[in-house]
Structure 1
Amino acid sequence: MKLSELTDWFALRNVEPELVLAQYAELHRQVPLLYALLAVNSLAVTYTHFGFAPSWMTVLVPAVLVLASLARLVVWLARRHRQSNAQDALRELRKTYLLAVILASAYVAWALKLNAYGGHYEQAHVAIFIAITVIGCILCLTKLPQAALSVTLIVTIPYLAYYLSTGNTVFKAVGLNMFLVTAVMIQVMLNHFHGFRQLVTSKGVTERLSRENLRMAHTDALTGLPNRRYFFEALNDRFAQAAENGKPLAVGVIDLDRFKPVNDTFGHLVGDRLLEAVAERLRETSVPTLLISRLGGDEFAFILDCDEVSATDYAGKICAELAEPFKVENLTLSISGSCGVAMLESGCVEAHQLFDRADYVLYTSKESNQGNVTVYSPAHESKILSAQALESAMRSADLEAEMHIVLQPLVNYRRGEVVAVEALARWKSPSLGDVPPTSFIAAAERSGMMHDLTLMLLTKTLDLVERLPPGMKLSFNLSAHDITSPSTIFAMVASILRSGVDASRLVFEVTETAVIRDFNTAIGSLDMLRALGAHIALDDFGTGYSSLSYLLRLPIDRVKIDRSFIPGCDTEAGCNLLSSILALCSSLKLTCIAEGVEDADQVSILRNLGYESFQGYYFAKPMPIEELAPWAQAWTAEQAAGRKRTIDRSLAP
């Protein structure tokens, strides 16, 4: 060991905090015993020398030494239950070290001075006192080897020098024997402390790794925010505390709007940088008692001890911050955040209920109040109960028997033909009556039944294909779950192959909002269906996030314009928009279909714009397959008769 290292060691410098705390804890048990040993042995030596030595040596000096030892004993006992940090513990170790050196010097000086009085027995008692003092110091200060070694040197060197100088053979032998025993004990002490230090260091490393692993297990790797696991653990704890103490508690769930188009357009790296920037803004909005976490994807959540007004204000601040443009990788990206907030109220007995309420109104916010805050209210409670009743009815229903397929025709007006029909599911529940498709599809997705429901409806639809007129195609709608679930797509492909239906007669309709849930998976699913020979239609065109982008990137054959554009076709702006869409589809060689056509004026305007394919109540409402053939024959005959009348009028003189 270098001199500088030895100096640092004796000065208790550069000591690991874990080791300092461990030493301090061990000394709490051992140092009081040392002071008690010194006090008792001092009184014993004083007793045997009383009458031989002057009174100041048998009364005054030992009284001071004993009182000092007892005072230190009381101090150590008083601090045994006190929590100390590493800095305070190190200060106490250094103080103990210094006082041990001072007291050892005083004790050995007094003992050697006392050795000049009395007979052989009294002198032997002094030798024993010094030997026991050394052994006691080594044993009790093992966890502070600097003090133990210093005290041993302070006591042993004068002791050995004194007895070697007496010329008495017995005392020389005793001194040398004591020196050897002390040397062996010092080595044993150092070996023991080395093992103790390794144990503490190993334990410290293990604890640090454990803390780091726990931190990592509770931290989102991308954003550094607490993750979903930590959030729900904290929610359970804070919910219980708030419920017990009658304190307000708010939970908010935040979902980014327009994040997926950014991720799909610019790639996952830009998407990740954007999420990091979002997390940084959320940190900057921090307020007391706030916990904000990333639940996964582009969803975040917060817990806040506050009333509804404060929670709404805070959530509004978040939405305002997220609406400001982000600078990412030399790009300016504009998104927003929708937020749902729920307050701890009567009737909410579990933490997950509070979160579910916030999550429910989040999606209400995304549908009708995007980029803003929606607070849970009793009106939402009735909707949740209705949704729960619907899910319960679905789970207990015989859906295969209760659901049926109706068909709505799609016509080519120029040719006067019914070219396809769209399969639409209908459910008449014995307990709920007629349930709208939007309701039971949403319930199936929430309850995890969508996979089975899709396959059952597809099987019913495939059974109808052979009953259609030759050449007529059949459209089947795919939900967001279907198009992003490889297992569902694989099962659909298997079902089509087993049915023996010519896949070229099938058209699968998807919406942009369904596709953007997982764009890459959706493209793979559509490619798989096209590989069978099926056609793909982009439904509700114009209501998504980036329609032109999806037209270019999706493997589609036809486009169905959303019905919301049709009522405005009689305005200049509406006509211009519809003309632009038709021109775009024509340039991309995509069939363009106007759906939601309600009256003859709309048909006339759309035909003048160049539209040929139509679907809507003006032509026919959805009908059972038994009614399709008669209707198709009648409509085709009517169109043929109309064309004949037009030709006759044109040929008339």
Structure 2
Amino acid sequence: MSRFFSRGRETMRKLLWASRFMHWLRDLMALPEDDPALAATQLAALSQYVPAFYLVLIFNLTSLAITHMRVAPPLLGRAIPLLLLITATIRLALWLHRRRHLTPREDAVRKLRAARRSGVVLGSCAGGWALLLLPYGDVYQRLQVEITVALTLLTCFICLISLRSAAILLGLIVGVPYALVFLSAPQTPVRLSGAGTVLVLFVTLQMLLRNAADFVALSHSERELQRRQRETQLLSDENSRLAYLDSLTGLPNRRRFFAELEQALSDAAQGGRCLAVALMDLDRFKGINDMHGHAAGDRLLSQVGARLRRLVGEGIFIARLGGDEFGVILRDCQGGAAVRQFAADVRHVLEAPCIVGDRLATISSSLGVAIYPDAGGTAEELFERADYALYHGKQTEKGGMVLFSREHETRIRAEARLEQAFRHSDMESELWVAFQPIVDVAQRKVVAFEALARWQSPELGLVSPGLFVPLAERSQLVCPMTAVLLQKALAAAREWPEHVSLNFNLSPYNFTSVETMSRLRTLVTGSGLAPSRIEFEVTESALLDDFEHAQSCLRELRALGARIALDDFGTGFSSLSHVSRLQLDKIKIDRSFVIDVHSSATSANIVKTIISLCDNLRLDCVVEGVETLEQLHTIAALGGHFIQGFLISRPVPAEAVAGLIAGFEAAAPHAA
């Protein structure tokens, strides 16, 4: 019984080894049916080496045929080698042709199978023919056959490294019979030579199997590397795309805009075509953003971006430059007609209301346009001139399009000359302060003077503050100018009666400089003038950019004892919100409500409402821009007490203030 089980175990072990051997042999002989990419790689490698194998085969067939032509029968010495040579030559030509043409991946396995079949058949026929020649000829011719077959098999192993199944089949079909024949030869030298050759072929076959495995592994590694390179390239392309994309609107960003502009300019210069650069921003966006919050502003910009993307097409490039500003490049625009059409298209896509916060809002945009080559020859020049046209449009015709013209060029040069003069000016000697009175019509006396900046240039003469004050703000010279003007205003105010205060305007840019605010506080405390007689006026535009910081600066001034007034009230977007959050002492009603206050019920009601608001909040209220007696009488009837305007006096120099106070008080019984 134990012998039976022992035999059974031995049989199972043999079957297991046989099964493993069959699996191993099947793996060796298998083609990459499920890996078309590997099959294509193997076929490409074969295309490089198989022609060399056929060349060697043709040469060896020819040499054997020549040496055995006279000793072997005609069938073996002439007919068969001729047929083999013709077949080998045809296969060589086919493989040389295949090297010049790529094979689709789906056909690679089929062609590998055909290559293995034809190679094994032809090699086997050649090997069989060589073995049939052994009975003919002397010992040297037998050695020639031995060496020729061995070299041919060796070449086969080397050239078929990427198709190991074909090499193995040829080794089995040709090499095994060859080894048996030569190892059984009666001559000792032949046997020894055959044994050495078999050993070499066996070692070569072992190396072939290892190298074939390495070839497959290398192919997989190369494809994995290529896959990772593709993934890296895709990530790089995506990062590059994101680097040039504005995530909020989905439009290209500022960096992409200038890169596109440089390329468009180069193309326009080479082709002799015109090119338009347009800058566009949304009207009243800042007020909407402050009123409803940044999240609502972002949603509005996202909606605008989606609408502007509809206009993008051949020759039209739109990017978001930042905030609510957008840049446009119009290629081959054919002058102003195409630009005007684009402006009309912009108005059309923006005319539908947008969702802002919890309500709908109608939006519009202003455009400034510069055309190449008339407006400039470089990207910087075109951008600056389009920006100037946009700035001019915002000041004069908001909601429209302004095309940069020669008139603008003249104005730019004048402003450049003005800026150059202001930059090189001696502020201490050239800047001076004019004073305009604020009058209490009820008590009929001057209660304050507003300090107004003046510049007397040795080169340009008296320059309007409407020109040099915005220039000082744009050129970042407003902070030193403010310090000089405040120092002179404080010095003049020390000579006034105790009941007369000084009103001094602060620029929005004053709040952005810690050094400037510190300098202003130092001037106030060292002036010898009671801080309670100093009133700093701020406009809402000074508060919009960073309300919290501006509020903090005003709080520091109030801590000194100074008073705070909100100027141009009624022209901003969130005045009531600011009034409730700021510690104000005075509100000044903008002159735009005073022009027709005596003839317009709406203006009169607005002025009356603001005066009542100030009374309820216990704030002083000054009505600016009073120029006629009709306006004065209407304002007095509406409850206004403090007025300022040309009816009372135009701004006067410091030395005329005392006379103006005395003259007004002397004429007080006849005023009102």
* Distance (Å, rounded) in 2 between the aligned partners of 1:411 and 1:304: 56
Aligned to 2:567, the other structure's residue is in SS state: strand
- Higher-Rg structure is 2
From 55, 62, 69, the equivalent of 1:40 is: 55
Structure 2: distance between partners of 1:555 and 1:583: 18
Structure 1 residues 370 and 181, CA gap change in structure 2 (3 angstroms): same
**Equivalent position SS for 2:250:** coil
Shift of 1:56: 4.5
Q: Note if contact 1:248-1:344 (Cα within 8 Å) is conserved in structure 2.
A: yes
In the alignment, what sits opposite 2:167? 155
Q: Which amino acid aligns with 2:120?
A: V
The residue that corresponds to 1:69 in the other structure is 95
RMSD over aligned Cα, in angstroms?
Answer: 3.2
Q: Write the mapping of 1:520-599 to structure 2, written as runs, cut at 5 A.
A: 520-573=548-601, 574-599=603-628
Provide Cα deviations, 1:104-126, integer angstroms capped at 9, x if missing partner.
43223212210122345345434
After TM superposition, give the deviation of residue 238 of structure 1 in Å. Answer: 0.9
Report the CA distance shift for 1:281/1:553 in structure 2 as closer, same or farther (over 3 A). farther
Rounded to whole Å, the distance in 2 between the matches of 1:286 and 1:430 is 52
Counterpart secondary structure, 1:293: strand
Deviations, residues 591-628 of structure 1 (Å, cap 9, x unaligned): 21111112333222211221110111222221222221
Rounded Cα–Cα distance in structure 2 between residues aligned with 1:180 and 1:501: 106
Find the residue that maps to 1:115 and give its secondary structure: helix
The alpha carbon displacement at 1:261 in A equals: 2.1
- Alignment partner of 1:516 is 2:531: no
Question: What amino acid sits opposite 1:368 in the alignment?
Answer: T
Q: Is the partner of 1:335 in helix, strand or coil? A: coil
Please give the residue correspondences for 1:429-508 in structure 2 after superposition, counting only pairs within 5 Å.
Answer: 429-483=457-511, 488-497=516-525, 499=527, 502-508=530-536
Q: Deviations over 1:618-646 (max 9, x none)?
A: 2222122222122213322432x559xx9
* Residues 1:27 and 1:225: Cα distance change in structure 2 (over 3 Å): farther
> Aligned partners of 1:619, 1:197: CA distance in 2, in Å?
89
* Mapped contact 1:340–1:358 kept (Cα < 8 A): yes
Q: Classify the secondary structure of the residue corresponding to 2:100.
A: helix
C-alpha change, 1:320 and 1:194, in structure 2 (3 Å) is same
Whole-Å separation in 2 of the counterparts to 1:475 and 1:137:
99
Asked if the contact 1:512–1:538 (Cα under 8 Å) also holds between the matched residues in 2, the reply is yes
Q: 1:595 to 1:182 in 2, by over 3 A?
A: same
Shift of residue 566 of structure 1?
2.0
- The answer on 1:183 being equivalent to 2:209 is yes
Q: Helix, strand or coil: the match of 2:450?
A: strand
In 2: Cα distance, 1:530 partner to 1:343 partner: 51
2:411 is aligned to: 383
Task: Give the structure 2 partner of residue 269 of structure 1.
Answer: 295
2:287 touches 2:572 (CA, 8 Å); kept in 1?
no
Q: 1:506 to 1:47 in 2, by over 3 A?
A: farther
SS at match of 2:649: coil
Shift of 1:343: 1.3
**Alpha-carbon displacement from aligned partner over 1:373-412 (angstroms, at most 9, x marks no partner):** 2222222222222222212222222233211111111111
Partner SS for 1:415: coil
Q: Deviations along 1:530-568, whole A, 9 cap, x unmatched? A: 343332222222233344444334443222112222231
Show CA shifts across 1:485-529 (max 9, x none).
556445534554565654333222222334334444433433343
Query: Which has the higher mean CA deviation after the structures are superposed, 349-358 or 318-327?
Result: 318-327
Q: 1:222 to 1:591 in 2, by over 3 A?
A: same
Q: For the residues of structure 2 that align with 1:106 and 1:123, how far apart are their CA atoms?
A: 23
**Shift in CA distance, 347/285, structure 1 to aligned 2, threshold 3 Å:** closer
Would you say 1:337 and 2:372 are equivalent positions? no
2:650 to 607, 616, 621: 621
Asked if structure 2 preserves the Cα contact closer than 8 Å seen for 1:483 and 1:515, the reply is no
Among residues 425, 435, 438, which one is paired with 1:410 in the alignment? Answer: 438
Q: Would you say the 8 A contact 2:375–2:382 is kept in 1?
A: no
SS of aligned partner of 1:382: helix
- Say whether 1:132 aligns with 2:147: no
- State the SS of the aligned residue for 1:567: coil
Counterpart secondary structure, 1:607: helix
- With over 3 angstroms needed to count, the CA separation of the structure-2 counterparts of 1:121 and 1:333, relative to structure 1, is farther
Cα 1:396–1:254, aligned 2, differ >3 Å: closer, same or farther? same
- Classify the secondary structure of the residue corresponding to 1:522: helix
Residues in 1 aligned to 2:573 and 2:531: alpha-carbon distance in whole angstroms: 30
What amino acid sits opposite 1:159 in the alignment?
G
| Correspondence for 1:399 among 427, 433, 439 | 427
Aligned partners of 2:31, 2:496: CA distance in 1, in Å?
Answer: 95
Deviation at 1:571, TM superposition (A): 1.1
Match of 2:326 in 1: 300
d(CA) in 1 for partners of 2:31, 2:150: 33
TM (norm. structure 1) is: 0.84
1 CA distance for matches of 2:394 and 2:560?
36
* Structure 1: gaps (5+ residues): 77-90, 139-147, 647-653
Q: Which amino acid aligns with 1:481?
A: Y
Q: Tell me if structure 1 keeps the 8 A contact 2:61–2:81.
A: no
Note if 1:247 corresponds to 2:258: no
Partner of 1:141: none
Distance 1:422 1:129 in 2: 110
Q: Which of 115, 127, 137 is residue 115 of structure 1 equivalent to? A: 127
Against the structure 1 CA distance between its residues 575 and 414, is the aligned structure 2 distance closer, same or farther, given a 3 Å change threshold? same
Contact 2:623 2:640 in 1 (8 A): yes
Distance of 1:336 and 1:525 partners within structure 2:
34
**Secondary structure of 1:569's match?**
coil
The aligned counterpart of 2:117 is 105
Asked whether the equivalents of residues 375 and 381 of structure 2 are also in contact (C-alpha less than 8 Å), the reply is no
C-alpha distance in 2, partners of 1:500/1:137?
104
Output the amino acid matched with 1:447: S
In 1, the alpha carbon distance for the partners of 2:348 and 2:563 equals 43
Distance 1:588 1:596 in 2: 23
